[in-house]
Structure 1
Amino acid sequence: MRISLVSAAAALALLSVSTSLNAQRADDQIDARSVALLERGKAARATGDLDTANGLIESALAVDPRNRAGYLVLAEIARAQGLPGKAIRFYREALTLEPNDQAALRGQGEAMVQKGAVERAKENLARLKTLCGNCADATQLSAAIAKGPPATATAQVVPAPKAEEKKN
């Protein structure tokens, strides 16, 4: 009796696992609706309508979160808006899907330089050089690192004007 219960439970577990694996799509098959929304988002970005582009691409990712190109475009939009931290997060999402994506490594490194994290950008450069040697992406990131983070306007303390002494 005990053996039949254990074997029945094992058979049921095997059946449920094999059924769930069979129903999943391959990673390279992105939902067509997601691709269409991404293309509309790219077109909106090309016209300069970043808010509409952002919304369309986020919708594309809601339809299919494996659409790595969507994360890359969102990261580029964030960088164009001067939001390097947000761009780094989107590049990280793309790298989660494909750890060897050279464009994502370069973009993330450039956003890190823009944010001031030069040492972390150098790690991305080393990884890029391991993947492709001195390819265009590695050269661009190397140039961004050499240029350094952008100078930020800092508040300077201006001394208050001295009160003139009254003459009697």
Structure 2
Amino acid sequence: MKHSYLGKHALYGLLGAIAVLTVVPVATIMPAYAVDDIEGADAPDLTAVQAKIAAKDYKGALADLRDLAQDNQQADVYNLLGFTLRKTGDFTTALTYYNKALELKPDHKAAREYLGELYVETGDMGKAKEQLASLQKLCPAGCEELSDLQKAIDTKVTQ
């Protein structure tokens, strides 16, 4: 009788150890995100897309982003779709995706910067300055997005 009692506890101990060893690695492996404004644990891993954008492979990035957008209504995905479309010269569709990103997350700094840059590129300096004002509120101590948009505006004004 005593032998089966120990066997039962040994079995529970073994099952518990297996459960811990199975759960711990899953809990500690998190994907690396390539975007500063991470929405949360459900945000897709955009590392591969960011690499394509950095390599100026906008068509490849666009294909990946369109696939991601079908499964994710997520500000980072929409923002990068807007960025990639803007870089390919499709300003109208880029504007749509920047606005979708900002509908989901009005304080998305990168979307504000990129939308402002779109307005600079299309010559709408008033709207570019509106995005700059939004970034000044979001980054009272300054941030990269604010300084990048300010530089784009200053460069366009002096041309």
TM-score with structure 2 setting the length? 0.63
Equivalent residue in structure 2 for 1:145, among 129, 147, 153: 153
Question: Is 1:109 paired with 2:121?
Answer: no
CA change 1:139–1:52 in 2 (3 A) is closer
CA change 1:149–1:108 in 2 (3 A) is farther
Which secondary structure does the structure 1 equivalent of 2:107 belong to?
coil
Q: How far 1:43 moved relative to its partner? A: 4.2
User: Taking every aligned residue pair, what percent have the same amino acid on both sides?
Assistant: 28
CA change 1:141–1:44 in 2 (3 A) is closer
Number of matched pairs: 120
Q: How far 1:83 moved relative to its partner? A: 2.6
Distance across 2 between alignment mates of 1:47 and 1:129: 30
Aligned position for 1:30: 42
Aligned position for 1:131: 138
CA change 1:47–1:105 in 2 (3 A) is closer
Would you say the 8 A contact 1:41–1:57 is kept in 2? Answer: yes
Distance across 2 between alignment mates of 1:40 and 1:48: 12
Output one character per residue of 1:27-60: Cα deviation in whole Å (capped at 9) or x when no partner: 74527xxx25x44444444454432321221111
Q: What letter matches 1:131 in structure 2? A: L
Which secondary structure does the structure 1 equivalent of 2:42 belong to?
coil
TM-score with structure 1 setting the length? 0.60
Distance across 2 between alignment mates of 1:61 and 1:135: 27
Alignment of 1:1-168 (within 5 A): 28-30=40-42, 35=44, 38-65=46-73, 67-133=74-140, 134-148=142-156
Distance across 1 between alignment mates of 2:105 and 2:59: 27
For the pair shown, which has the larger CA radius of gyration, 1 or 2? 1
Output one character per residue of 1:125-162: Cα deviation in whole Å (capped at 9) or x when no partner: 111111212332222212211222798xxxxxxxxxxx
CA change 1:47–1:148 in 2 (3 A) is closer
Alpha-carbon RMSD across the aligned residues, in angstroms, is 2.5
Unpaired stretches in structure 2, ≥5 consecutive residues: 1-38
| Structure 1, 125-134 or 106-115: larger mean CA deviation | 125-134
Q: How far 1:86 moved relative to its partner? A: 2.6
